[in-house]
Structure 1
Amino acid sequence: MVTTLKIVDEYFGAGVPGARRGAELRVASERVSGRDIIRSKVAAEVEALRQRPQTATLARSHSFIIDMPPTAPEMTMNPMPSIDRPGFRPPEMEQEVLRAFSAFARGGFIMLLDGRQICDLDEELVLRPESEAVFLNLTPLQGG
């Protein structure tokens, strides 16, 4: 049975206090793991970038799951293939899935399902029709 899961990305910091961007993901079953949710989120973001590469700059400003191409100011300082130049290739899904799993493991983001923090990506989770997964971006502090 295909289930729809509401996904919310939360950001904190200068200029984006508590900003929320949401989407809906279709998942294959009502019984999933955190790993399944992350894989579905990454697949949706990579597919959206492949379908509309011109949105990469916007996506980069709010995606912390997949590795986005550099923006124009970054390109000025560090020339490399971008969405505007020949040679740009969208990220590979499997590589980005592994990168997201690694980011989760090292505490780069927190995932909550229905208000409960997911600590084990292999734990079986049961989705309800009103279920919501929140991805909370954690920005490392600099300094002392």
Structure 2
Amino acid sequence: MATVTFVDESTAGARTPGWALQIFEERLTLRELIRRRIHQEVAEHNAANAGPRRLLVQPSPTERALNGDPAQRTARRVDPERQFALAEEAFGRNGFVVLVGDRQVEELDDEVDLRRDTEVTFLKLVALVGG
């Protein structure tokens, strides 16, 4: 059994505290690893019935503006399959890269080795101004 620690970073320098998930397999595709991460996050979110805490894919500022202030309304249940589809799409358009240990995983169907203390970093890419 592996303990996978997920960490979110951005090229702007932000880093969230890591959180761990127990994985029983020694090898998984990146796609399945992302699926499990999202399902765990969504399950915690829906159980707490609170606003998004550390979801991989967040609404844009425009979407937040159009949908109103999230603090002013009751929390809605999040659909894990919808969030997973958004994450796949974001990965495909280079919205984020994934590092397992010190190796970048470039394809969703690439298999990754999971050890006892594997760190998986989701690096959100921030667009450069004027570039």
What TM-score results when the alignment is normalised by the length of structure 2? 0.82
Structure-to-structure mapping, 1:1-144, within 5 angstroms: 2-13=1-12, 17-56=13-52, 59=53, 63=55, 65-67=56-58, 77-80=65-68, 82=70, 84-86=72-74, 88-144=75-131
Bigger relative CO (Cα 8 Å, ≥ 6 apart): 2
CA distance in 2, matches of 1:69, 1:83: 16
- Alpha-carbon offset, residue 18 of structure 1: 4.1
Offset at 1:131?
1.3
Q: Structure 1, unaligned stretches of length 5 or more?
A: none
Quote the sequence identity (%): 30
2:117 aligns to what SS in structure 1? coil
Q: How far does the alpha carbon of each residue in 1:75-99 deviate from its partner, in whole angstroms, 9 at most, with x for none?
A: 6x5344846425x422200111111
Give how far 1:133 is off: 0.7
Scaled by the length of structure 1, the TM-score of the pair is 0.75
Pairwise CA RMSD: 2.6
Runs of 4+ in 1 over 4 A off after TM superposition: none
Cα separation, partners in 2 of 1:69 and 1:6, compared to 1, 3 Å: same
Question: 1:111 and 1:7, CA in 2 relative to 1: closer, same or farther beyond 3 A?
Answer: same
Aligned pairs, how many?
130
